[in-house]
Amino acid sequence: MKTFKLQSLQIIENVADEIVKHPVPLHDGLIINREDEANRWLIEAYVEATYKDFFTELSNNNEEIMVEVVITKEDNAPATFITSIIGINDIGGHINVLFLGNIVDKQKSKIEEMLSDLIDKGYQGEELLTTFKKLI
């Protein structure tokens, strides 16, 4: 297992076909790459207790929750995860929220999107390979 500092957390929701990001101010947080067979990560966010109702409602929906986090340094690129809330615990005037999920490989999906676009434009064979290599 590898443990990293959680720098920021945003909950991503689809509201009326629009992506809405809800930034959640952190007091502290960790993210752990469990390095298990399912490639899961554990995210622990330590936040104000005023967020308890928000996270309880998300948890009660029994749906996957998309989160975007920044790990280790504030200037790192955000990473996106598809998660479930596995715990909400009261700690004094704060709560900790535990998420378990998998990282979304944005790079892979961008490459697939680019390749699909080139095919849609009629590229094929050697021309497709050459054009694709120039783009990446």
pLDDT tens digit sequence for 39-79: 899 999 999 999 999 999 999 988 889 999 999 999 998 99
Banded model confidence at residue 26, pLDDT cuts 50, 70, 90: very high
What per-residue confidence (pLDDT) applies to 53?
96
Q: How many domains does the chain have?
A: 2
Asked if 26 and 90 sit in the same domain, the reply is yes
User: Strand locations in 25-135, DSSP E?
Assistant: 28-33, 40-48, 65-71, 79-91, 94-103
Sign of CA dihedral 54, 76, 27, 97: positive
Q: Which domain holds residue 8?
A: 2-104
What is the CATH number for 94?
2.30.110.10
Asked if 74 and 132 sit in the same domain, the reply is no
Asked if 27 and 70 sit in the same domain, the reply is yes
The residues pairing with 129 across neighbouring beta strands, listed in sequence order, are none
Asked if 8 and 62 sit in the same domain, the reply is yes
Asked if 33 and 89 sit in the same domain, the reply is yes
Asked if 96 and 112 sit in the same domain, the reply is no
Each residue's pLDDT tens digit, 70-113: 999 999 989 989 999 999 999 999 999 999 999 987 656 666 67
CA distance 130 to 133: 5
Rounded mean pLDDT of 9-22? 84
User: Given a cut of 90, is residue 22 above it in pLDDT?
Assistant: yes
Asked if 71 and 22 sit in the same domain, the reply is yes
- The reported pTM is 0.77
Asked if 28 and 59 sit in the same domain, the reply is yes
